[in-house]
Amino acid sequence: MLLAAALACAACKTAGSTTEGPRPEPATPAPAPAARPASASTEPVHLTIVGTNDIHGWVMPIAESGVRGGGLAAFAAYVDILRRENPGGVLLIDAGDLFQGTLASNLSEGEVVIAAMNALGYDAAAIGNHEFDFGPIGPHVTVHGPDEDVFGVLKARMAQAKFPLLSANIYEHDSKLRPEWLPGDGTLIVERKGIKIGIVGLTTPMTPQTTMPINVASLRFAPLAPEAETAAKRLREKGAAVVVAIMHAGGKCSQWSDPFDTSSCDVEAAEVFSMLSHLPPGTLDAVVAGHVHASIGHFFQKTPVIETPGMGKTFGTIDLWVDPVTRSVKTELTKLKPVQPVCEIVDETTQSCDGRALKGKQVKPAGATFHGTPIAPDPAIAQLIAPALDKVTELQNKRLGLKVPVALGRNYEAESTLGSFLADTLRGMEKADVALVNPGGLRADLKAGELTYGAVFEVMPFDNTVATLTLSGEELTRLLKAAYAGRKGVFQVSGLQVKLSKCVTPDRVKAVTLEGGKPIAPASHYRVVMPDFLARGGDGLAGVLTTIDPARIDLGQNRELNFRDAMVAFWQQKKAPLEAPKLGRVTLISDKEKCPPSEADGMGQ
């Protein structure tokens, strides 16, 4: 009786954000399964998929407004609870972008992240676009000599990991074969409770535009759907009863209270939805997505999909039940619970550990719980990451002798105070005519108060160099049109006034002039400054830049200071507060008609 009650509870819809699988369609008579021995259980086998994505080096917790959240030591406590609730039935996987983003991770070239993930017992992770950022081992992010290996850091992290880093759609550009340094076919089979689970890793085909392009010039990233279908077929042939995709390609939904309602999702543009639309029904039993730092907790084409904003602050779960006789997923029992926060100390009233949401509110700190169990961060993982944190503490807290009177914020889809300020900085320190900054390169707002190096690093974690280009007016105009035509957000500018359609289309730029309204002279030449990620063709600029004489492109490789440190030195030389400039250089114009869908590229650098 107790067992029957438990099974009935498992099949019912629960409260909160937990949601059931696809609504059952009218049943059709099915042939009775073959008789099994009386001793064999016919009860559904419960599997729990725990998914993370876009950790970006955030192994440590964040303390703010009296609460404390995030970090892999606290996350380990959540995973431990889930493993105790479903012994032998938990699969822990990640959808990629593991390393790039924090001082602790960047100074160790991702070593501390893999060490913590090893301790957590991850089963697999997808290869993300930012796994290629570090390039060769050592201080250079691109190859500077014949002794350097462009995949040096990635190879080292793959060797360190006790779990595979997977991608089924990466090939050598010229030979069309799998790279020798990437073993296997991008898939893995693990077993839980006697059920074989196939895992296929996938990497966004937009990777050449969202990492340092030269680092992946020898590779080809094949389309997602054909590779997923082929890989799933191979896994089924090897006996996999369940096939799960971990894909560093995603989408976004603004609402997920009803997992069957995808009206708030970018279903016509997002890579994950596009892929599923092109797969035969039942190809995949679950998907853990990433890349765009957004949230999904939906069934699409009857396939459960989860994705979180990442940064070590949240995770998602998919609960599956597998028929032990037919070895098929009982989709009507599938449950999703997306975007679950990782908390250590919460506000007692709201049970939130989101410091930004609680800022300015009266907070009563209390210990976090999960499924009724107190959260105690794993001491072994905390001790594991402590040396890395100790190394960066002094640099993180280093005061730069400058003030930020009012916080400078980002805006990926419009002009922002932070973007305009940094573009003005670039233009001023290089005495350039025009400066261009990609919004995806700005990873945090700049908080008000005393400026520290750690705060600057959080804003600009990428070790780009300062690149300068000499462009004709005609070339500059083409470059701007290319920048705004892709789904890479609104590029931040200095020295220009730009009018854009709100719709992202090839003719999005409606008007562009120099500062003050002076026209850009097609035959005149202009000094343009930008991060070398863009100058190398990142974020969709390659098509224009390959037509420019390389002699007119200085990538800044011989400079002593990188993009971030050069700005800090310039601010310190000026000794002035970091104040927001007046906005109005980028104007968005409303279109009369509904914007057409366009391919979602996700966040670049």
> Tell me: the pLDDT tens digits for 237-262?
999 999 999 999 999 999 988 999 99
**Average pLDDT of the residues in 339-364:** 94
Report DSSP state, residue 365. Answer: E
- pTM (whole model) above 0.75: yes
Alpha-carbon span 424 to 408, nearest angstrom: 13
Which among 358, 385, 412 is the end of a domain?
385
**Which residue, 150, 151, 152, 184, is CA-closest to 167?**
184
Percent of residues, the chain, with pLDDT higher than 90: 83
Q: Range with the lowest mean pLDDT among 24-28, 140-144, 255-259, 404-408?
A: 24-28
The pLDDT of residue 34 is: 42
8 A C-beta contact, residue 540 and residue 485: yes
Residue 545's alpha-carbon distances to 213, 483, 490, in angstroms, are 12, 11, 19
Same domain, 270 and 418: no
Same domain, 490 and 515: yes
Residue 372's alpha-carbon distances to 20, 78, 407, in angstroms, are 21, 11, 38
- Is residue 595, in this structure, part of any structural domain at all? no
Task: Tell me which H or E stretch contains 200.
Answer: strand 195-203
Which among 356, 385, 414 is the end of a domain?
385
**Which residue, 280, 203, 291, 292, is CA-closest to 243?**
280
The pLDDT of residue 424 is: 97
**Which residue, 590, 565, 323, 331, is CA-closest to 457?**
565
8 A C-beta contact, residue 435 and residue 495: yes
Q: Range with the lowest mean pLDDT among 4-8, 175-179, 331-335, 502-506?
A: 4-8
**Average pLDDT of the residues in 336-349:** 96
CATH code, 169? 3.60.21.10
Same domain, 369 and 417: no
Alpha-carbon span 39 to 25, nearest angstrom: 32
Q: What is the pLDDT of residues 522-566, one digit of tens each?
A: 999 999 999 999 999 999 899 999 999 999 999 998 898 999 999
Spell out the alpha helix ranges (H) of 331-411: 355-358, 379-396
Q: Is the pLDDT of residue 234 over 50?
A: yes
8 A C-beta contact, residue 68 and residue 353: yes
Same domain, 219 and 103: yes
Structure tokens at 449: 């108060």
Alpha-carbon span 164 to 194, nearest angstrom: 21
Number of Cβ atoms within 10 Å of the Cβ of 165: 22
The pLDDT of residue 4 is: 41
Report phi then psi at 261, rounded to 5.
-100, 105
Cα angle vertex 531, ends 528, 537, to 5°? 85
**Which residue, 116, 96, 113, 98, is CA-closest to 287?**
96
8 A C-beta contact, residue 208 and residue 161: no
Same domain, 359 and 211: yes
Q: Which residues contact 1 (CB under 8 A, 6 or more apart)?
A: none
End-to-end CA distance of the chain: 56
Q: Which residues contact 534 (CB under 8 A, 6 or more apart)?
A: 436, 438, 467, 541
Same domain, 496 and 362: no
- Is residue 421, in this structure, part of any structural domain at all? yes
Same domain, 374 and 481: no
Report DSSP state, residue 408. Answer: B
Strands 242-248, 195-203: pairing is parallel
Three-state secondary structure string covering 215-274 = HHCCEEECCHHHHHHHHHHHHHHCCCCEEEEEEECCCCECCCCCCCCCCCECCCCCHHHH
- Is residue 9, in this structure, part of any structural domain at all? no
Distance of CA 262 to the CA centre of its chain: 21
Q: Is the pLDDT of residue 51 over 90?
A: yes
- Is residue 79, in this structure, part of any structural domain at all? yes
Q: Range with the lowest mean pLDDT among 1-10, 99-108, 268-277, 491-500?
A: 1-10
Query: Is 107 buried (19+), middle (13-18) or exposed (0-12) by CB count in 10 A?
Result: middle
- Is residue 20, in this structure, part of any structural domain at all? no
Alpha-carbon span 494 to 428, nearest angstrom: 9
In our burial notation (b when 16+ CB lie closer than 10 A, e otherwise), range 581-600 reads beeebbebeeeeeeeeebeb
Structure tokens at 120: 């957590």
- Is residue 597, in this structure, part of any structural domain at all? no
Structure tokens at 237: 């042939």
Residue ranges making up the domain that contains 487? 398-589
Residue 577's alpha-carbon distances to 196, 205, 398, 407, 581, in angstroms, are 60, 42, 17, 12, 12
- Is residue 524, in this structure, part of any structural domain at all? yes
Residue 575's alpha-carbon distances to 406, 411, 570, in angstroms, are 16, 27, 9
pLDDT band at 599 (very low <50, low <70, confident <90, very high): very low
Same domain, 368 and 308: yes
Q: Is the pLDDT of residue 602 over 80?
A: no
The tally of domains found in the chain comes to 2
Percent of residues, the chain, with pLDDT higher than 70: 91
Q: What is the pLDDT of residues 175-194, one digit of tens each?
A: 999 999 998 999 999 999 99
Q: How much of the chain is in helix, strand and coil states, percent to nearest 5?
A: 30, 25, 45
**Which residue, 98, 93, 177, is CA-closest to 133?**
98
The pLDDT of residue 21 is: 55
Same domain, 339 and 404: no
- Is residue 393, in this structure, part of any structural domain at all? no
**Which residue, 92, 306, 50, 54, is CA-closest to 204?**
54
Three-state secondary structure string covering 153-167 = HHHHHHHHCCCCEEC
Same domain, 456 and 358: no
Alpha-carbon span 527 to 467, nearest angstrom: 10
Instruction: Estimate the crossing angle of helix 563-574 against helix 417-430, to 10 degrees.
Output: 80
Alpha-carbon span 527 to 435, nearest angstrom: 9
Q: Is the pLDDT of residue 600 over 80?
A: no
The pLDDT of residue 598 is: 53
Cα angle vertex 55, ends 50, 60, to 5°? 105
Same domain, 313 and 454: no
Which among 361, 385, 409 is the end of a domain?
385
Number of Cβ atoms within 10 Å of the Cβ of 448: 13
Q: What is the mean pLDDT of the chain?
A: 91
Q: Is the pLDDT of residue 59 over 70?
A: yes
Same domain, 176 and 269: yes
Q: Is the pLDDT of residue 9 over 60?
A: no
CATH code, 584? 3.90.780.10
8 A C-beta contact, residue 109 and residue 156: yes
Residue 525's alpha-carbon distances to 91, 568, 585, in angstroms, are 57, 29, 21
pLDDT band at 588 (very low <50, low <70, confident <90, very high): very high
Q: Is the pLDDT of residue 98 over 90?
A: yes
